[in-house]
Amino acid sequence: MWRRRAKGWLIICIVCFMLLMGRLMQIQLFETETFSKHNVNLLEDSVQQRTQELVIDNGRGNFLDRNGTMLTHKKVSVLVLFPFLKKLDWDIKKVSDISGISEFALKNAVDSAKKPFAYGDPAPIELTPSQMERINALNIPGVFAIEKKFERANVPAEQLLGLTGENAAELKKRYPNKELSEKTLIGVSGLEESFDEFLLPEGKSKLVYHVDGGGAPLFGINVKYVDPANPFYPVNVRTTIDKTMQQKAEDLVDKYQIKKGGLVLLNIEDNSVLAMVSRPEVNKKDPYNGTGIANRMLKQQIMGSVFKTVVAAAAIDHNLDDPNRLFDCSKKINGKPELKYDYGMLNFTDSFARSCNRTFGELAKELQKIDPNLLEQYAEKLSLTGSVGWQGDVYHTSDFKQFDNEDKGRVFLSDEARKDPNFAAMSGIGQNEVRATPLAVANMMASIARGGKKESVRTVSKIEYKNGTTMVNFPEQPLKGDSISPYTAMKLQKLLREVVLNPNGTGRWFKELPYEVAGKSGTAETGKYEDGKQLHNKWFAGYFPYQNPKYALVTVNLDVTENEGGVNLLFADMVKMLSEQD
C-alpha cells in the first residue's frame, strides 16, 4: 500500500516538475518577447528593472516644413544629469560656471532625482555649442551635454499633422508581421496616421546605466550610449507647410475668435498646402476625445453662395450669361418680395458681384431643364465633389492617400431632388444638400487662377532618409476628370475680380489691399439655431495677386450668428501678411 502511495506521489512530483520546467522554458526560451496574451516582452521588462535610461530620441520619423524645420518636435542642446551623482564628489562648481545654473539648483535637482533627466525639462535650458563642448571636456561621469529631441508644446497645424498614441491591439492589427514593442507609438489621426508605416521606429537612442534594487550603480558609473546606428532611419517626411506662415495664420485665426472653422492657404504654382488651420484646437488634457482632433478643413460643409461660381461656369458654357439680360433681384428665390436684400434689376455680372440669390436660383432651374446632371458635372469639373488630395501608388501601398480622412463633396442626394426645380434653385445658391470641404473650395480657386487646370493638392513633397537622400517623391499630379475650358476660366476670373471692384460687391472690402484679390463670399444657413437665432457658415474664397496668381485662400467660420463672422478681416490680414513676406 505504501509503495503505491509513494509511487503516486512520485508521479505527481514528476508531473509538477515537468510543468514547472515547461513554464520556465516558456518564459526563458520560447516566449521571451511575447509572453502571455498581452505579448509582454520579458527581456525588455527585465532590462528595465535593472537599468535606468534617458531617451534622447524615440526613433519615430519626423515631420519637416518645406524649409527643413522640424514641426512636431525640436532638438535642444541640454545638460543631462544622472542621479548617482548624489553619491559622488563631482565638480559641481565648474558645471555651474559653464552652464550658468547655480550650484544650489544643480545640487537640489540631483538630490531629488530618481532617474536621469535633462535639466529644466519640460522647459529645458538650452546650451550653446561652446557650453556643450566645455561641459563634455570635463569628463565627469553622469554629466553630459547632448542634443535631445523634445515634443513641441504647441504643434503647428496639429490636426493636419495628427496625433500619436500607444495601442497594442491596433499595432498588432496593422503590422502583424513586424516585431514591435507594444509601447511603440502609432499614428491615430492626420498625416501621422497616413504615413505611419514609414514613421515606425527602428529603435530608440538613449543613455543607459545599470542599477541595483536601491537605484545605486551596479557596475560602476559607466553610462552606455545605445543607438540603432542606422544611416537611413528614422525618416523625415518633408511637408509643404511653411512654418512661419502657419504660425501667423494660427495667430490670426485666434485673433478673430474663429472658434469653429479656420483657413486653407495653397501655393498655386505647385498646388501645395502652405498653411492649414482648424478650430477648435486639440484638447491637450484629453486629445483623443472631443471635436478638436477633427480637421474641419477636410470635412464637408454647407458652402452657400461660393457655389454660385459653379452655376456661373455652367451658365457661361450654355450661353445663359447674356450681359443684356436683367434679373429681378427685388424678389426672393421663391418669388416673394426681397425686403432685406432688394438690389433691383441686375445683369449677370452684377448679380454675381452682389450675390443675388434670385439670379442663380433661376439659372440653376434653367440648367436643370437642359440636363438635370449639369450642376453636378460642373461641380466635378471645379473639383468640389471628389477627393482633391494627392493619391497614388507608393511602394507596396496602392492608392496611397496623403489626406486619408478627406470628405467628398456633393450636390444632390437623390434623383428626385436632382429633377425637382425647387431643389435645383436652392442648390444653385449653395443650400439644400450642397456640401464641399474648404480644401476643395481652395482647390477650385487655384484651378480657376491657373486657367482651368486641375491638380491634386499635396501637403507632403517627399520622404527623406536620415542621411538626406530621397526615399519617396510625391510629384505634382493632374486631378482626374473633366475640367473647365481656359475661356470659361477667364470669364470666371473676371467675375471673381468684379466681386472686389464693384462698389456694391460682397468683396469690396479687399479693394485697397496690397495684392489685387479675386474671390467669392458665401453665407449659408446651417439649419441650426442658438438662443432662437439662425446659425450660418461664413466664407470668403479667392486668390491673389489677380494678374500673377500665387496664393489661393479660403477662410471660413462655422455655425455663427448673422452678425458674427471675422472671415473678411481674417482674409484681408492674411493677404497683408503674405505681401509683407514676399
* Dihedral (Cα; 110, 112, 115, 116), 10-degree rounding: -20
**Burial (CB count <10 Å: 0-12, 13-18, 19+), residue 461:** buried
Which is the catalytic residue, given 99, 189, 272, 305? 305
What's phi and psi for 401, nearest 5 deg? -120, 130
**What is the C-alpha radius of gyration for the chain, rounded to an integer number of angstroms?**
31
CB-based contact 182:39 (threshold 8 Å): yes
What is the rounded CA–CA span in Å between residue 280 and residue 154?
Answer: 14
Residue 356 grid coordinates: 443675388
- Quick check: helix, strand or coil at residue 309? helix
C-alpha separations of 343 from 346, 410, 455, 495, 523 in Å: 7, 30, 37, 18, 17
Kindly report the backbone phi and psi dihedral angles of residue 265, in degrees, each rounded to the nearest multiple of 5, phi listed first.
Answer: -120, 120
Within 10 A of 291 (CB to CB), how many other CB atoms are there? 12
Query: Amino acid identity of 580?
Result: E
Residue among 436, 376, 427, 450 at smallest CA distance from 408: 436
Residues 194, 187 contacting (CB under 8 angstroms): yes
Q: For the beta carbon of residue 222, count every other beta carbon within 10 angstroms.
A: 11
Is residue 130 part of the annotated active site? The answer reads no
Q: Which of the residues are catalytic?
A: 305
